[in-house]
């Protein structure tokens, strides 16, 4: 009787172990790897530099991006935006090659929005960019450019041949997600609403100056969520 009882208990215990193991396997499958986020290329504006992105660069790193998935560069802003667009193309291609990503996101400030849009429209970028962001971009011109005479400055004047060409037809072509952030207190972009693009997600910020758009926590958080 004792032997029978022990045998019965062992069988019950064995069944319990198998059942528990099966249940564990059923409820704890291997976690799926999270999809990699698109790498980001930052493009500064007129008379700016790569250092303009120090704040956002640091915030993106703190939010989990690795340095190999972020890129920024400095260009000569006195040349035509068409020539700068070629450099944007090269930087985007290099970032995709380095990361193996099919597409990149582009985050721009001021005039960087113009040369990067030229890259999108005229240099094949529409198929290689997922999200595009303009912070205080003179997308329809700014009257402050009337007081400077670089080729790029002339191109930023409202009604210039460059802007007329850039904005002809669809202002936000392709399947790119376009987003703009504009401030009612931007002292460089006049009129302030020049940044707004038809077909884009256009966000009015708090009362921020032109450069403070780059270091606003609220703007950063909006951009971060937009490019996710």
Encode pLDDT of 63-88 as tens digits. 999 999 999 999 999 999 999 999 99
Average pLDDT over residues 13-35: 43
Q: What is the mean pLDDT of the chain?
A: 90
User: Where are the strands (E) in 59-213, listed by range?
Assistant: 70-72, 104-109, 129-135, 177-182, 201-204
Q: pLDDT higher for 223 or 35? A: 223
Go through the chain and tell me how many residues it has.
228
Q: Is pLDDT of 59 > 70? A: yes
Global confidence as pTM? 0.85
Mention every residue, 6+ apart, whose C-beta is less than 8 A from residue 181.
133, 134, 135, 136, 195, 203, 205, 213, 219, 222, 223
CATH 3.40.50.1820 fits 40-226, yes or no: yes
Q: Is pLDDT of 24 > 70? A: no
pLDDT tens per residue, range 86-118: 999 999 999 999 999 999 999 999 999 999 999
Give 36's pLDDT tier (boundaries 50, 70, 90).
confident
């Amino acid at each position: 009787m004792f032997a029978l009882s022990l045998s019965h208990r062992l069988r019950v215990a064995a069944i319990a172990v198998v059942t528990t193991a099966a249940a564990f396997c059923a409820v704890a499958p291997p976690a799926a790897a999270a999809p990699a986020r698109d790498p980001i290329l930052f493009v500064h504006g007129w008379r700016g530099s790569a250092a303009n992105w120090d704040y956002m660069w640091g915030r993106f790193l703190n939010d989990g991006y690795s340095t190999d998935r972020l890129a920024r560069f400095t260009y000569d802003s006195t040349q035509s935006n068409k020539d700068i667009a070629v450099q944007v193309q090269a930087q985007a291609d290099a970032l995709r090659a380095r990361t193996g990503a099919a597409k990149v996101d582009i985050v721009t400030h001021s005039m960087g929005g113009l040369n990067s849009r030229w890259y999108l429209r005229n240099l094949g970028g529409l198929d290689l960019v997922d999200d595009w962001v303009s912070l205080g971009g003179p997308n329809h011109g700014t009257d402050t450019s009337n007081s400077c005479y670089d080729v790029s400055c002339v191109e930023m004047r409202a009604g210039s041949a460059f802007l007329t060409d850039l904005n002809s037809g669809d202002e936000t072509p392709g399947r790119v997600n376009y987003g703009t952030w504009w401030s009612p207190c931007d002292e460089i972009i006049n009129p302030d609403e020049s940044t707004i693009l038809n077909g884009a997600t256009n966000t009015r910020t708090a009362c921020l100056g032109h450069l403070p758009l780059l270091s606003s926590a609220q703007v950063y958080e909006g951009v971060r969520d937009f490019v996710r």
